[in-house]
Amino acid sequence: MKQRWLLGLVLVGLVAVGCGGSSSGDDDDSGDGGGADGGGGADAGPRVSNIKHVVIVVQENHTFDNYFGRYCTAPAGSNPTCTVGPACCERAPDRDPSGALPIVLDDAANGGYDPNHDQDCELSEMNGGAMDRFVTGASCSNPKNWAISPDALMATYHGYAASGALADRYFQSAVGASSSNDMFFAVAKFVFKDNSFKPDTVGQGCIAPLTPKARYTGQTTIADLLLQGGHSFAYYAMGFRAMHEALLCPAAPSDCTSIIGAVCNYDPSDVPFQYYAQFEDGGMYASSMRDTDAFFTDIAMGQLPEVSFLKAAAYKNEHPNFSTKISNGVAFVSSVVDAVATSRYASDTLVLVTWDEGGGFFDHVRPPASPDANPLGTRVPLLALGRFARANMVSHVELEHASVVRFLELNFLGATGQLGARDVTAANLGSLLDASKTGIVIP
């Protein structure tokens, strides 16, 4: 990936053609990957960062141990303090606390089994932080919950970690399923448990017909703050256009072989902003909702928003079961990263790749204490890519999805904590970033 990114810089030059400036702040933090600096107060200081665009890709349902358990080489439990290279993050243990060996999480295994990842189940498996009931000891335990993907399948992601920065203490913001965690990207707080509700918007009839609907009015999201502050924002969701053009539910794309329609098509419950009236069809900011195809068009046409989220349909976001393939997800992420790296935006864009939650898979690291009544769940990977990322860096700062919101507030709006939720307390992303490239020190 590093070679592709450098090629992009050569092609487009050092000055990117973009829209708008960014705001940021400075705290006396060198971003060395140490303690959880950057939380517990508003970041303030210089207001202009060189990061003009941020692209955030959210994949699904895998823990850090799933994907980086054999990239990292420090012994499990050793808590390394160094920050350069795979020797500075913990490998997954050879056996889980029950003594079980991990299964190989290849495409076939991923497509054939979906662990129970409801909150009640995961709390039981986590067992107060002992992390010892994923394989046995809880009603939802299963030997398949302990799994590590092979190096060949993870080659792209491991390569990204080597050329960019990897957070090894990034935790899902809530114990439980996807929608609950996705909401933290929008409002940095707990809204509901698991997948308890779906948004009352186009496409909701094609997923989980018995799930109650929710529609929130008069509430502010990070996207509202950005747009009201004069910045551009878009959420690109795969299948969005086809869902809106269909009379009922759209036919599956030709490259999706699953018989489950929701796996192949747009799922509004994966898009947290769709729960808020201003982003629904006909809402004030409805134009911010787009299809992933539009991302590639926008970047080619020089119309990339300052902040972009991307969400693939389940068959390309690595969600387990229903014949989904991890390799399809890797290919989707790679297409996004390559599109940025070879565009006019390469020199001023930070790409973040993460996973919404661990999917019920085992991870050996105990989550930290939560700042509120809702506990954090297992670790998921977070990758920072592009010229602003510290190359071959491993950050040990305790982060979560609200950290992304805090970073966006700081970088574009100049002050953190504006949602009054975990964006007040979550650590910022500075430990992943190179201050000599960002132009300021981000906490």
Residue 392 lies in a domain: yes
pLDDT at position 48? 76
Sign, CA dihedral 155-357-86-395, equals positive
Residue 302 lies in a domain: yes
pLDDT at position 260? 86
- Could you identify the residue written with the tokens 């991990």? 102
Across 266-279, average pLDDT: 98
pLDDT at position 16? 34
Nearest to 391 by CA among 159, 168, 171, 169: 159
Q: Which residues contact 275 (CB under 8 A, 6 or more apart)?
A: 183, 186, 191, 197, 199, 214, 215, 216
Residue 443 lies in a domain: no
- Could you identify the residue written with the tokens 């808020």? 276
DSSP 215: -
What is the rounded distance in angstroms from the CA atom of residue 150 to the CA atom of residue 56?
25
What is the rounded distance in angstroms from the CA atom of residue 264 to the CA atom of residue 283?
26
DSSP 20: S
Kindly report, residue by residue over 88-142, the tens digit of the pLDDT: 999 999 999 999 999 999 999 999 999 999 999 999 999 999 999 999 999 999 9
Is residue 297 pLDDT above 90, yes or no? yes
* Percent composition of the chain: helix, strand, coil (DSSP 3-state, to 5): 30, 15, 55
Is residue 9 pLDDT above 90, yes or no? no
Kindly report, residue by residue over 338-361, the tens digit of the pLDDT: 999 999 999 999 999 999 999 999
Is residue 33 pLDDT above 60, yes or no? no
Across 190-208, average pLDDT: 96
Nearest to 433 by CA among 368, 340, 351: 351
Average pLDDT for the chain: 91
Kindly report, residue by residue over 361-400, the tens digit of the pLDDT: 999 999 999 999 999 999 999 999 999 999 999 999 999 9
pLDDT at position 37? 40
Across 12-21, average pLDDT: 34
Tell which wins on pLDDT, 45 or 131: 131
Residue 244 lies in a domain: yes
Number of structural domains found in the chain: 1
pLDDT at position 268? 97
Is residue 278 pLDDT above 80, yes or no? yes
CATH code where residue 380 lies? 3.40.720.10
58 in Cβ contact with 96 (< 8 Å): no
361 in Cβ contact with 121 (< 8 Å): no
pLDDT at position 257? 86
The reported pTM is 0.91
Across 318-322, average pLDDT: 96
What is the rounded distance in angstroms from the CA atom of residue 300 to the CA atom of residue 72?
36
Kindly report, residue by residue over 258-271, the tens digit of the pLDDT: 878 889 999 999 99
**Burial status of residue 326 (CB atoms within 10 A of its CB: 0-12, 13-18, 19 or more):** buried
Banded pLDDT at 216 (limits 50, 70, 90): very high
Banded pLDDT at 40 (limits 50, 70, 90): low
For 75, the domain range is: 2-438
Across 9-18, average pLDDT: 34
Residue 261 lies in a domain: yes
Is residue 18 pLDDT above 90, yes or no? no
DSSP 316: G
Express as a percent the part of the chain with pLDDT over 90: 87
The helix or strand, by DSSP H or E, that contains position 300, with its residue range, turns out to be: helix 292-300
The helix or strand, by DSSP H or E, that contains position 155, with its residue range, turns out to be: helix 155-163
Express as a percent the part of the chain with pLDDT over 70: 89
369 in Cβ contact with 422 (< 8 Å): no
Q: Which residues pair with 399 in a beta bridge?
A: 170
Across 280-295, average pLDDT: 97
